[in-house]
Amino acid sequence: MLGDREAQTLALIDTGSPRTIFPRGIGDLLGIEFPQFKSDASTIITMLGGDYPALTETVMLQLHPAKGSLPWEAEADFVFDDDLPYAVLGYEGFFNHWAVLVNGYGAYFVLEELEDYEERPGVIAALTARPPG
């Protein structure tokens, strides 16, 4: 969401991505004005074997169809090219707002608000545990 505009897209959760990235079409739907020349991009994102000029914007994000999912403000990059097949949810904009549990075997993930996760008994011990020796 940006202002009174809203758009939906599929997204890939990427634990290795430092940024949250959206395709050009989503930026167009939100009314983001892209400069005429790619050389005027605010950042260059290297991914999928190429370099993508992009604009960085602060937007409101919300997960659908997650029940009770509240929107949050995040900084995200919008690439100039429209060949990105989906959005990428990375550290800045997604992981820095949620505690994320990925269950590869079960093929699902769980999101929890950071404050709720950190208040759960045993979480700090699990995060600070070290092997013996």
Can you give the pLDDT at residue 67?
65
Return the biggest CA–CA distance within the chain: 59
Can you give the pLDDT at residue 120?
76
Can you give the pLDDT at residue 38?
87
Q: What is the pLDDT of residues 96-125, one digit of tens each?
A: 988 888 888 898 888 888 888 778 776 666
Q: CB 54: neighbour CB atoms within 10 A? A: 25
Can you give the pLDDT at residue 76?
96
Q: In what order do the strands lie in the sheet with 43-47?
A: 11-13, 87-89, 21-22, 72-79, 50-61, 43-47
Cα distances (angstroms) measured from residue 46 to each of 19, 66, 76, 85: 11, 30, 15, 15
Q: What is the pLDDT of residues 69-104, one digit of tens each?
A: 778 999 999 999 888 889 999 999 999 988 888 888
Q: What is the pLDDT of residues 22-52, one digit of tens each?
A: 999 999 999 999 998 888 898 999 887 888 9
Can you give the pLDDT at residue 20?
96
- Of residues 128 and 20, more confidence is placed in 20
